[in-house]
Amino acid sequence: MPPAEPAAFERDGCLVSTDPAKLDLDVVHGFLAQAYWSEGIPRPVLERAIRNSLCFGVYADGRQVGFARVISDRATFAYIADVFILDSYRGRGFSKRLMEAIMSHPDLQGLRRWCLGTRDAHGLYAQFGFGPLKMPERNMEILDFEIYKKAEPPEPVKE
Give the domain ranges of the chain: 8-149
- Local structure of 2: helix, strand or coil: coil
DSSP letter, residue 45? H
Quick check: 53 pLDDT over 60? Answer: yes
What are the two backbone dihedrals, phi and then psi, of residue 56, each rounded to the nearest 5 degrees?
-125, 115
Q: Residue 5 has what pLDDT?
A: 76
**94 Cβ contact partners less than 8 Å away, ≥ 6 residues apart:** 14, 58, 60, 65, 66, 85
Q: Residue 145 has what pLDDT?
A: 87
Give strand pairing partners of 55: 69
Class of the domain covering 8-149: alpha beta
Q: Residue 3 has what pLDDT?
A: 59
Q: Residue 9 has what pLDDT?
A: 86
Rounded-to-5 percentages of helix, strand, coil across the chain: 30, 25, 45
| Pair 60, 99: CB distance under 8 Å | no
Percent residues over pLDDT 90 in the chain = 81
- Mean predicted lDDT score pLDDT of the chain: 92
Quick check: 158 pLDDT over 90? Answer: no
Q: Residue 8 has what pLDDT?
A: 85
pLDDT band at residue 154 under the 50/70/90 scheme: low
